[in-house]
Structure 1
C-alpha cells in the first residue's frame, strides 16, 4: 500500500508542541502553599492533560480558597509570564515537523485545554502560519478525555476525524484523540502513555518527517477513512 498523508494533523499544545508543563507546575506550587497547603511533584503529574477547570477543582481540594475561574486565570497569567520571560520552548522536532506538514499542504489544528488567550500567544510566537484552526479549553463544553475538542477541530477544518492524525503527550489527551476516531500518536514527556490505546508511541519527534506521518496514517487508517 502506498503511504499517504492524512487530511489533517491535530496537535496538542502543552507537553506536545511546547514543553510548558514545568511552567504550569511552577505556578501550582506557590498557589497551594499561599493557602497553607503542600503540593508534590507526584500531585502535579496527575494534572498533566487535565482540563483547567478540573485541575482547579483539584487545587481547591488542596485548600486553595478561590473560585474555579480565578484559579484558571491565575495559573494562565503565571504561565504567560513564564513564556514572556523564557520564550516558547518547542519540544524537539515539533516545530520542524509542523513546518513540513504545512509545506506539504496538510491542514493543521491546535487542540489544547489551555485558555484561548494562551494558545493564541503561543501561536503568535511561531514564525510561520502554523495552524488553520485553534480549539482551546474555553471553546469546548466537555474537555479531554471526551472526544469533543478533537471533533470540534475536525468540524472547523471540514474533515472526517478518521482521516486525521492526532499527536498527544498525556493519557487524557490520547483518550480524547482515540475516542474521536483519529489515528493517535503518543509522544510521552512526563507520564507513561502505556495502555492509553494510542496507535503508536514515539519517544520523540526529533528527525521525524511527513514521510513518517504518512507511514503511520497508512498503517493505522480506520475503516472508511478517506
Structure 2
C-alpha cells in the first residue's frame, strides 16, 4: 500500500492527491530571519549586505547562496565555513520557536483532518528543518525533504518529484505551496499545480500558477479546484 492509499480520502482519485509545502516564508515566517542572519554573518566578516541583495537570496539553496555571498563581498572564507556559520546561527535563532505564516496553522489542520498527504519540501538543511518542525507540528507531514538530502536542489524539480514519489502521488495531482520564484520554478518544472504565496518579493501571475495574498485564501476546496482546472487544461 502506498502512502497515498493509506491516507485516501473522498475525491482523491479525481482531484487532489497530495500537498507539497515549502517551509521558509510559506509556512513559517523565517525568510526575514534568514536574511538577517546572512546580514549578521557577513557583518562579522566586514561586509555590509544591503537590502538590494534580498531578492537574489530569497528561497535560494545554500550552495548558490554561499557562492553569491562570497562573490558579491569578496571575503576570504571557505564556502563550507560560511555555510557552517550561517546554519549554526539560524539554528540558534530558531531554537526559541518560530511564528507561522497567516493561515498556515488552520490549513495544515484542515488538510490533516481530511487525510490529505502532506510533504515538507525545503531548500533548508536538515538541521534547520528539525529546529522548525516542533513549531509546525511534525505529525502533519508524512514526508520531509531537506535541501541537503537531494542531488539537485530548487529550482530543479528533483525536490518536489522526490516528495511526490514518496507519497505515491502523481505530480500533476499535487499542489505545491511556495513563496519564492526559485520554489515556484521547481514546482512547475516537476509538473505540479503551483499556488504562490509571496512573502518578501513579488511573484508574477502565470498560466501554470495561482498567486494568492496569503494562505488565509487557501482551503481544501480551493486546492481541489486548482487541480481540476489543471487536469481540464485550463
- Normalised to the residue count of structure 1, the TM-score between the two structures is 0.91
Q: Deviations over 1:177-222 (max 9, x none)?
A: 0010000110011111115654200101115321221122212237
**Which residue number in structure 2 is paired with residue 182 of structure 1?**
192
| 1:168 counterpart = 2:178 | yes
1:38 Cα deviation (Å)?
Answer: 1.9
> Partners of 2:205 and 2:181 in 1: how far apart?
9
Unaligned runs of 5+ residues in structure 2 are 1-10
Superposed CA RMSD: 1.9
CA contact (8 A) 2:100 2:136 kept: no
Corresponding position of 1:83: 94
> Which residue number in structure 2 is paired with residue 206 of structure 1?
216
Match of 2:7 in 1: none
C-alpha contact 2:194 2:209 (8 A) present in aligned 1: yes
Deviation at 1:131, TM superposition (A): 0.4
Within a 5 Å distance, the mapping from 1:39-118 to structure 2 comes to 39-61=49-71, 62-85=73-96, 87-118=97-128
**Deviations 1:45-68 (CA, angstroms, capped at 9, x unpaired):** 210011111100111111333222
Stretches (4+) displaced over 6 A? none
Seen in structure 2, the aligned counterparts of structure 1 residues 222 and 10 have a Cα distance that, compared at 3 Å, is: farther
Summarize the Cα distance change of 1:79–1:72 in structure 2 as closer, same or farther, 3 Å threshold.
same
Equivalent pairs, count: 221
Q: Indicate conservation of the 8 Å contact 1:31/1:64, yes or no.
A: no
Q: SS of the residue aligned with 1:66?
A: coil
Please say which of residues 147-156 and 24-33 is displaced more in the overlay. 24-33
Contact 2:205 2:211 in 1 (8 A): no
* Residue aligning to 1:14: 24
TM-score (norm: length of structure 2): 0.88
